[in-house]
Amino acid sequence: MSKEQEKTIDVDKLLKNKLKAVSVGSLENAISKVVSDMVGEDYKCTIGEVKYTMFSGADFHIKIELSYNPEQ
């Protein structure tokens, strides 16, 4: 196959949305950790309704807030 020829698209792979297998709680925890590490403060993340799209995507609203912990 020459470099000029386009690669074939694996339609089955595009239509099989693997994001559906990822729990929303896991995403929230992972995002909270990344933001907290970046900022140096404890943050929490809340993800609103998830709408899975065709072609292995997802749309959702994300809310990130400073966590209040009086012990810190």
Q: Tens-digit pLDDT profile for the chain (72 aa)?
A: 555 566 787 777 767 888 888 999 999 999 999 999 999 999 999 999 999 987 788 999 999 999 876 665
Is 14 part of a structural domain of the chain?
no
Token digits of residue 17: 């949305």
Residue 38 sits at φ, ψ, to 5 deg, of -70, -40
Nearest to 50 by CA among 20, 18, 15, 14: 20
Could you tell me the residue range of the domain that residue 65 belongs to? 24-72
Is 10 part of a structural domain of the chain?
no
Is 19 part of a structural domain of the chain?
no
Q: What is the dihedral of CA 1, 15, 53, 30, to 10 degrees?
A: -80
**Number of structural domains the chain divides into:** 1
Q: Which stretches within 1-72 are classed as H helix?
A: 11-15, 24-39
Is 66 part of a structural domain of the chain?
yes
